[in-house]
Chains A and B, each alone.
Chain A
Amino acid sequence: MIETIAPVVNAVLQEGSAAPAIPPAAAAALAVGLAALGSGYAERGIGAAAVGAIAEDDSMFGRGLILTVLPETLVILALVVVFILG
């Protein structure tokens, strides 16, 4: 079976080298999207903990907010890719 797959893969790769399956702009957009997904997941945990801390002690509001949005830097860094390519 592997023998039959090899030529097909070769053909696809040769064709792919001519025109990429994902063009640069789309790849950059994907990168931003994935980074946002990742930071969203990180913020989920931090946000839950921050709300817990604020519920116990109001003075934690500022600190909680800052810590919650820290993973947002990931999205900003991913945005840099868009400008480099664009």
Chain B
Amino acid sequence: MSLYGTAPGGRSSNYEYVIARVRSRRASLFDDDDYRKLVRMGTSGIARFMEETEYETEMNALGARYSGSDLVEYALNRNLAKHFDDLLKWSEGALYDYIARYLRKFDAWNVKTVIRGLYSGADLADVEDDFIRAGEFTERRLDALRNAGSIEEVVTQLDDTVFGDALAEAYEAYEEQNVLVPLENAIDRAFYETLLEGLPSNPEPDSATGLYVQFLRAEVDFRNLRNALRLARSGADTDPAAYYIDGGKLFDRQSLARLTGNMDNLVAAVRESTYGDDLDAALSDLEDAGSLVEFERALDAALLEYADKLSTRYPLSVCPVLSYVLAKEREVDNIRAIARGREADLGPEAIEQELVIL
């Protein structure tokens, strides 16, 4: 039965249950009015506001150790981890696999945090606070990673995960140059490449799997586009193919390398692609003002909108869950931007520009 696709384990997915819960949570995220209020508050005001919402437990748990925007940030991370862990706890069968694939993003984040901590010699408690415990890694594995004495030890510990091979390869480059970039790139690429691995490359366009693949492709495309734009803007003499992630449909390796050389060609190519309609306004802005920050906001908003569209077109699929995951991430990013912005004494208008609001 295609509606309730079964996983290799044979358990069927419980889309109805998970999606009812997810939709309810999606509806209770902060809306425009809340953001408008938050933007005009001081950091302590934001903290107080958050104590009265969704984030109460986390704010109280961390309130004794931190204050100001650090408190807000750590509370946000913990809340995010709690919600995404819930998603994995609820879901069964193929749905679990789909969600876990996407949430591996946070495993990648945690590994990067550990490596950066070791590189900069940060103390263990700081590294632990920066963890977002939302991915597939167990508590025990994360603790083992945190207690690792060297980056080499981290690489060996991750041997049996999706990051294993890529990290081992990048470790040699790291030893030669003593910079973190190759390691971090390896982690990101390992994540994005396993994202689409094992999924049918050409599924029925309107099935649940089809939409899932379509969404992941959009994500990979936008990531490639972002990298390409950054490279084109900075004019850096780097080989764009080195940053290319397989699996998208917007670029292939050659066309990306060709287009990155010229900003106008790149914009024209995107305008003619399937994303042209969604990104039209943002592309015009980019051509006029050339502000990359605003364009990246627009990309985030477009991806969010795209996920929403998919989730209404096929309600009994993984799409509503993904749309929630994205919306929650944006909310956390937005609140963090507000808290940090207020701390740095930015005006409400300046902060509002930084927010991704649909």
Contacts and interface: CB of A to CB of B under 8 A. Distances in A.
Contact of B21 (A45, A46, A53): A53
A33 interface: no
Contact of B19 (A49, A50, A51): A49
Contacts of A49: 16-17, 19-20
A56 B19 CA distance: 11
B57 interface: no
A13 B121 CA distance: 88
B84 to A, nearest CB: 16
Contacts of B19: 49, 52
Interface string A16-42: 000000000000000000000000000
B20 A50 contact: yes
A48 B20 CA distance: 8
Contacts of A57: 24
A52 B25 contact: no
Contacts of A53: 20-21, 24
Interface residues of B, number: 9
Residues of A in contact with B, size category: 10 to 19
A48 B24 contact: no
A77 interface: no
Contacts of B20: 48-53, 56
Interface string A44-64: 011011111101110000000
Nearest to A50: B20
Interface in B292-323: none
Interface in B1-47: 14, 16-21, 24-25
A46 B24 contact: no
A86 B19 CA distance: 44
Contacts of B21: 52-53, 55-56
A55 B24 CA distance: 10
A60 B24 CA distance: 11
B16 to A, nearest CB: 4
Contacts of A55: 21
A46 B14 CA distance: 11
A52 B18 CA distance: 7
A62 B163 CA distance: 48
A45 B24 contact: no
B25 A45 contact: no
Given A46-B16, A49-B17, 6 more contacts: A51-B17, A52-B17, A52-B18, A52-B21, A53-B21, A56-B20
7 contacts: A48-B16, A49-B17, A49-B19, A50-B20, A51-B17, A52-B20, A56-B21
